[in-house]
Structures are given as C-alpha cells and as structure tokens.
Structure 1
Amino acid sequence: MPPVFAVPSPDACPVHAVASDTFESWLSGQPQRVQAWAKAHGFTGACGQALAVPGAYGTIEMALAGYGSAAQRARRRFVLAEAAQKLPAGSYRIASGLPAGAAATESLGWLLTAYRFDRYKEAKGEAAALEAPEGVDAAAIESLAAAECLTRDLINTPASDMGPEQLQAAAAALAEEFGAEISTILGEDLLAQNFPLIHTVGRASDRAPRLIDLRWGSSGPKLTLVGKGVCFDTGGLNLKPGNSMALMKKDMGGAANVLGLARMIMAAGLDLQLRVLIPAVENSVSGPAFRPGDVLTSRKGLTVEVNNTDAEGRLVLADALALAAEETPDLLISMATLTGAARVAVGPDLSPFYTDHDTDAAALSATASRTADPVWRMPFHDPYETMIEPGIADLDNAPSGGFAGSITAALFLRRFAGETRYMHFDIYGWTPSAAPARPKGGALQGARALFAALPDMLEL
C-alpha cells in the first residue's frame, strides 16, 4: 500500500525542525533537562540528525530533527526525511521550524521514507508516521506518493514477473481505478495495423510485443505521453556483456514513469484529454531476431538502418510517436531510459530533457526546484542531424563515433514527432545509492516537475 499521513491525534509526538545556525538560540528557550539531553547526545541541528527527547515517564516528549544550514539543504532533496528515518516508530506532527514553502516537499519526503519493495520478502521495521502539516493539501501529497510508489514497484519488479503482459495489466489496473479506456494491439496485429518497428524489436521473444493505448478525459487540451516499455533488454544480437545486462529490468522505466505521471493527472482530475502510449516488448535473442545492417520501414514511412540492435528503444518509440503525432496533440511527451550518454553527461540524479519551446523549458525548470525533482535542459542541436543520416536509409539508429549519443537519439525521435509540440526525457529510472526517501532501486524522475508545470504549459 502507498504511504499515507497518520490520522491526527493529540498523542502525536511534536517534531521541532531546528536549523544549525539557530539551534543555540532555540535550545536556550527550552527546559534545562532538554538542553542537557541535546548536549549529551551531540545534537547540533545538522542535517540528518534526529533526537527523541524522553518525558518524565519514559515516553517521547518531543523529537528534534536537524534542518542544517542553507548550504547543507542545497545538497539534499528531502531534508526531514533523513531525520525521519532515524526516529522510532510512532505518530509525529511538525510543531515548529519548517518554512511554510517547504512543507509540501518535506512532508512528501517523509511519506516516501515508508516505501518498501516487499513483494519477495517481508519488510522489516515500521516507519515513523507523520500527520499532514497545517496548510498542506494532504490528498494531493498522498497522490504524489502513490504515483511514486507505483513507478518504483513497476521498475523494481524483475523481468520474470514484469514482461509486456504484466506491464499491460498494470496499465489496465490504473485505467480501471480512474475510469479510463484502454486497448492493446498485440503480436502479429502490430504488422497488420502498421507498427513494424515495435513488432521487429519484440518478435524474437516468446512474450508477444504489444502497443498499450490508454485514454482518459473528454475536454480540455490534448496531452499524449509515450513511455518506452522494453521490459528486458539483452541488447539483441549486439548482446550486452553481463555487467551491462544486470539492470535491464529497468529498461521499461519510461513506461513506469508515464504511468506514474498519468496517475497524478487522473487523481487530480486535470481538465485535459490524456493519452498514454506504451510500446511494450522484450529485446531477446532467437532465430527471428532483427540483425545489424537490416533496413526497417517505420509507421511514418521513414526507413531506418540498424547499426546496433541494442539501440532498440528509439525504434519502438518511433512507431508510437508517429501514431501520437497523427492526432496532433497540444503537447507530446516521451520518457525513456534511452542512452548511457545521458548518464555520462548529467549522472543518475538529473533528468535531461529536450524541447524546442523555451516557455515549456522555463516552466519545467521553475517547478523542478520546488518539487525536489531536478531536471536539466539539453539541446536539440540541429547541426547534428547529419549524424543520424546513413548512406542507404533515411535514418541511422546508432550513429558511429559515440559523440553526442543522447542528443542524436533525441533528434532521431523528433523526426517521428513531426510538427507536434514535443518534449523528450532521457531518464535513468534508478537510484544507484540509497538517499533519504530515495532507496536504491526504481525511481520516478521528471514526472513530479512535469505534473506541476502542466497547468502553465497547457494553460489549464
């Protein structure tokens, strides 16, 4: 179950968020026994510190949470979450010290400390529960937490239990929850309905490729989300080495992220027409596998020379983007765990995005900072278009040389979005090292920032 706020109770333990630069003045106003306890335990208000202060009968009278300095906070997404993870199980309420503008983000971080991926083993330990801070929209924060947990669960599930069929089932469950419509084009029907690239990438697996199509809403601007749903990527005939294949259960992270974003949108009841397209495949090795050197014809009619079967994500996205563009939505967004080049450029925490629209980029950058969901704009650098144009086909799926790999992949996808207003995210979808409220494993990236920016981007 996704984490929720604790039911308000007069017995909830008060938490005082104390910044390191104001700690001494705050402490001087406390009873002598509180001063002595804090000093005895070395509490200084540094980020990550947590201290339970006992009352007269051994119960916890109050809790102190280090809020650090401005410099320390700038290096963290969720400051209170670090302290929350160290507090004993129980119910807590924020009593003082938390800036009003930080309440929503910090309470979301606190909720996310309760996330556990417990499908395969019993979760250990209970999290400290938080009452919703005054002035915070509790339902909205809980909805964000639920979306994040959905995305994490989908990515964390191994490919043995999260193939194209199971990804379709997850989308269907989400559609049922919010009254959306869903349809699927499966297997050989992909060829009959002109989705040749999706079929080609998935045909070597005994788990049939498919295109999942979810629709919700009947009024307002049209928003289409396209998520890469490669449920496992062996690399195909350009087989990945073992260490590169180890995390390929997360190669459907783009699909998981657009489903998380779709959940936020539907739960909030935004006045828009939402469409979610997920090409769901497994890139496997068998006799029917597509080959390096093959030339494929896409739904749009553009031909693609395959120079690396491990650059399959852009192929399945191409057909889905072409379909999306046929409806000319007001905004088209793709999310994909697409290139290692993006990780080299910005690391695992930032979500690189591409857009030709400066106003969209500005709106997204503004919301990213306040939602603790960092993004970074990358360029659709037109002079690199020649790098994706081989000699014998319209496009090259894996330009040689290795330069600007994320940019050339984004330029490839833009060809299929056509004239539609388009934004692309080349995300990692994974937290490689545990951090407060962000355990090692699947991650939602860019979706919260997008959700917050959509009212400005679509004038809702």
Structure 2
Amino acid sequence: MLDYTRLKFAASSDGAVPLFALDADNLSAWLEGQTPTVQNWVKAQGFNANVGSVCVVPDADGAIGIALAGLGDDTARARGRFAMASVASALPAGRYRIATDHAQDDLEEHALGWLLSQYTFETYRDQPPHAAQLVCPDTLDRSRIENIAAGEALTRDLINTPASDMGPDKLEAAARQLADAHGAAINVITGDALIEQNFPMIHTVGRASATPPRLIDITWGTTGPTLALVGKGVCFDTGGLNIKSGASMGLMKKDMGGAATVLGLAHMIMALGLNLQLRVLIPAVENAIDGSAFRPQDILTSRKGLTVEINNTDAEGRLVLADALALADETPPDLMICMATLTGAARVAVGPDISPFFTDDVPFADALRAGARTARDPVWEMPFHAPYEPLIEPGIADLDNAPKGGFAGTITAALFLRRFVSNTARFAHFDIYGWQPTAQPARPKGGVGMGARAILAALPKALNL
C-alpha cells in the first residue's frame, strides 16, 4: 500500500516560532523595525537573505525567539522557485509560522514548497525525518495544499519504484488503491482479453513480457463536464528488438511517468471534489524481448482501424496510447489530456524542467499558461505543425511510428497521437520527462510530477467549473 498522503503541515500551532521570510531588498527595512539586540545579532550572523539562508535569533532564555528565512533578490527568484523549500531543511527542529505578509500566490508557493521538500522515498531505506514543521498560514486552504502535495507524492512514489516492484500488475494495484480511496469505479482488461476487446496495439507491445499487458480504466463523478486523462504506462522499456543501450535503458523505470502523473492529478481532482466527470485510462505494459516480441517492419492495425508500420520498436509509447486515445474518443469528453514520457526530442528542446504541450484549443492553452504561472509548474506550447504530417505517412501503411531523419521528433509524435482523436474537439498532449536529474528546492533527485499542478489550476477556467 502506498502512503502518499504523508506530507502534512504541523498538527498544532502551539509554540510555533515566528518565521520572517525576507527578500534581500527588504531586509534593511525589516531590521530598522527591530530592537538593537536583534539588529546586532542578525548582522553578526552575516545574514543577507540569500535564497535558502537562515538565521535563528534567541530569546532571553536562549531558546529560539524568531527565525529569518532568505528568499533572495529578483534575479534569484527569476532563476528558481520554491525558495522556502531550501529553508525548511536548514532550520532547527520545531514548529514555525510565517510571520511576514506575502501575496496569496507567493504564500501558497511557500507552503506547498515546504511540504514538497519533506518528500523522501522510503520504500527500501529509512530516511531521517524532516524536523522543521510549518503551520499552515491562516489565509490558505490547508486541505487543498495537502491534497496537491499528496498527488505529487503519489506520482513520485510510482516513478521511483523500480520495475521489479512496479510492473503492469503493480501499477494496476496502485490504481485500484486510488480508486478505492475515492469511491471511483475501475475496470481492467488484461492479457488476451485485449485482443478480444479490440486493443491490438496495447497487446502487441506488451505481449513479450512475463507480466501481461492491461488497460486500466477509472471513472469518477456523475455531474459536470467530462475530462479524460490518458497516461502512458510503459513500466519498463528495453526498446524491444531495437534494444536500447545500457545507458539509455538505465532510467526506463520512469517510462510510466505519464501514468504516474495522471494518477497524481486524478487524486488532486477527486480529493478536492471538483464538479466534473473524470475518466483515467492507462495502457500498462512492459516493452520486453522474447520470441513473441513485435518486430521492425511489422504492420499493426489499431483499435481505430488505422494501420501502423513499425520502423522502430522503441517508439512503443505512442502505439499503446493510440488504442487508449481511440477508446476515449468513442465517447468524446469535453476535454482530453494525454501525458507521456514520449520523446527525447522534447528534452533536447526544453530540458527536464519544462512540460511541453500541444493543443489546438486556444482557450485551454491560455488557461494552462496562467495556471502554470500560479502553480509554479512551467509549461511551453509546441505546435501541431501540419506541414510535417507527411513525415508520419510511410506509404505502405496509414502511419509510421518512427519517421526517419530525426527532425521534429516531439512534433511528429504528437501528430501521430492526434490522428486517433477525431471526435473530441478539445485535446492536449504533454510530452514530459518525469525525472529530476539533480536536486532542486522542493524537487529531490528522482521521479517528479510535471504539468499536473498547472492543469489543475487551469481546469476551473477551461471547463467553467
């Protein structure tokens, strides 16, 4: 059982130490309002309000009287986010309450960043607890922030778990746990039943694994607009017969990062009780190698009836997503969002910290950009560039799963997926990385959610909730 709701604010404000979160440019003004004793102490400690710096000022009895937290200057803030997360690990044990005034969005960033900084992956090794706890500011919705943090923790836990313990069957178990927690319905189609129920590409990609492929289908809510989330659940990707190098295979436990992210987002939506009808579809497979593995030059027929020539078995994610997208498109939702760790080209384009997305829906794109700024969850719009459509048309079949040449790989992958969404008017595709290569404030090295908080912030405007 996954304990993804473990990131919490302090249970009580009793004895909480006032914490003054200060920008470098307002430190002097703040000091002018303090006693000479405090001024001298802070200056003696060399505190300059750099990002992550702390200063603890004792009271008359030698206990912690107040604490100062550095938020840096304009340049530092422009180059990073969640500055308060750096402070959380630097402060001594105890309870703290933010005692300075901040804009509401900034205050929520501080509070969420503090919670996310407490995340550790403890399945295989005990980690020391974070001793400094934050009292949730009175003006914030404590439950909302804790539920957002829980969704992120779920995503991180799923990605961080190795494929030996997070194959398609275990991903199904995690989805069932989430559905049960929220009273959602869940249906799973497994193994040869995928062929019988017309999900041929999901079955083909996953059939070489010792753990059968499956399609996970969660539904929740009875009123409001309809939202479909489709997440790539490739629990490990060897590359198939076009086998990856050892270096490229090393991080492939994260190839189910799209599935992990939509499950984390689904938790946020259900826990917050948004007035919508949610459907989550996850094709869960392992792209393995044995005598039944699919081959280069095979031609597959998809659920939608489109034929696909296989020019690289390592371009398998778009195949399993295609069948799931086609299913969602048969009862068109008001908005469909696909999330996948799909292409290396996306990482070359925007690096590991930004979630590139594709959509023809201008209002959703505008709402998403605004939501990304509010949630401190950066996104960047990429084009469904129609002149590249011929690149995914091989001639011998309707579609090519891996166009030759290497140009515009993230765009051609997005165009491929869009071919399976012909009835749904509003569609967006996210090509995420799902991994934090080096530790950053609120984001330790390892699995990480990308785009989920931005989408959550965009949904009220995008769906008129």
Normalised by the size of structure 1, how large is the TM-score? 0.99
1: CA distance, partners of 2:207 / 2:249: 19
| Cα-Cα RMSD | 1.0
Q: Tell me the CA shift for residue 134 of structure 1.
A: 2.0
Amino acid of the residue matched to residue 23 of structure 2?
A
Question: 2:241 is matched with which residue?
Answer: 237
State whether residues 374 and 457 of structure 2, in contact with CA within 8 Å, keep that contact through their aligned partners in structure 1.
no
Matched residue, 1:437? 442
Match of 1:446 among 444, 451, 456: 451
Q: Residue 89 of structure 2 contacts residue 130 of structure 2 at CA under 8 Å; is this kept in 1?
A: no
Match of residue 49, structure 2, among 45, 50, 68: 45
Structure 2 CA distance, aligned partners of 1:247 and 1:144? 26
Deviations 1:70-108 (A, max 9, x none): 221121121211112211121110011433331112100
2:349 paired residue number = 345
Q: CA deviation at 1:459?
A: 1.1
Of the three residues 329, 333, 344, the one matched with 1:329 is 333
Q: Which runs of 5+ in 2 are unaligned?
A: none
Distance 1:34 1:284 in 2: 63
* Cα distance in 1 between the residues matched to 2:37 and 2:161: 49
What letter corresponds to residue 437 of structure 1 in structure 2?
A
Query: Which residue of structure 1 lines up, in the alignment, with residue 272 of structure 2?
Result: 268
Corresponding residue number in structure 1 for 2:306 = 302
In structure 1, give the amino acid aligned to 2:140: V
Q: Which moved more, 1:231-240 or 1:56-65?
A: 56-65
Please list, as runs of the form range in 1=range in 2, the aligned pairs for 1:368-379 lying within 5 A after superposition. Answer: 368-379=372-383
| Secondary structure, aligned partner of 1:416 | coil
Q: Which residue is equivalent to 1:7?
A: 11
Contact 1:50–1:84 (CA under 8 A) maintained in structure 2: no
Q: Aligned with 1:68: secondary structure?
A: coil
State the match for 1:73 in structure 2.
77
Task: Tell me what 2:92 maps to.
Answer: 88
**Letter of the aligned partner of 1:453 in structure 2?**
A
What one-letter code is carried by the residue in structure 1 that aligns with 2:189?
I
After superposition, what is the alpha-carbon deviation per residue over 1:273-292, rounded to whole angstroms, capped at 9, x for unaligned? 11000000000011000001
Task: Pick one of 348, 367, 371 that aligns with 1:367.
Answer: 371
1:193 partner amino acid: Q
Deviations for 1:104-124, whole angstroms, at most 9, x for unmatched residues? 121000111111101100112
Deviation at 1:419, TM superposition (A): 3.1
Separation in 1, partners of 2:298, 2:62? 73
Partner of 2:432: 427
CA contact (8 A) 2:206 2:212 kept: yes
CA distance in 2 between counterparts of 1:329 and 1:76 reads 36
User: Which of 216, 225, 228 is matched with 2:229 structurally?
Assistant: 225
What's the offset of the Cα at 1:215?
0.4
What corresponds to 1:130 in structure 2? 134
CA distance in 1 between partners of 2:266 and 2:235 (Å): 19
- Are residue 56 (structure 1) and residue 60 (structure 2) matched? yes
Aligned AA (1:344) = V
Deviations 1:190-242 (A, max 9, x none): 00000000000000001100000000011111111100000000000000000
How far apart are residue 33 of structure 1 and its match? 2.4
1:169 correspondence with 2:168 = no
Partners of 1:448 and 1:156 in 2: how far apart?
Answer: 19
Distance in 2 between the 1:417 and 1:85 partners?
46
Normalised to the residue count of structure 2, the TM-score between the two structures is: 0.97
Which range is displaced more, 5-14 or 325-334?
Answer: 5-14
Structure 1 match to 2:36: 32
Per-residue CA distance 1:32-90 (angstroms, 9 max, x = gap): 22222212221111211111222222211111001222221121121211112211121
Q: How far apart, CA to CA, are the structure 2 residues paired with 1:297 and 1:56?
A: 77
Q: Which of the numbers 130, 144, 167 marks the counterpart of 1:140?
A: 144
- 2:143 is paired with a residue of what secondary structure? helix
Residue 198 (structure 1) aligned with residue 202 (structure 2): yes
> Structure 1: which 4+ aligned runs deviate by more than 6 Å?
none
Whether 2:258 is the aligned partner of 1:254: answer yes
Cα separation, 1, equivalents of 2:42 and 2:101: 17
1:20 is matched with 24
Number of the residue aligned with 1:120: 124
State the alpha-carbon separation in 2 of the partners of residues 434 and 80 from structure 1: 15
Match of 1:278 in 2: 282
Distance 1:293 1:59 in 2: 72
- Cα distance in 1, alignment partners of residues 98 and 357 from structure 2: 35
- Closer/same/farther in 2, CA of residues 359 and 153 from structure 1, 3 Å limit: same
Tell me, in whole angstroms, the C-alpha distance in 2 between the residues paired with 1:343 and 1:237.
24
CA contact (8 A) 1:223 1:330 kept: yes
Distance 2:420 2:428 in 1: 12
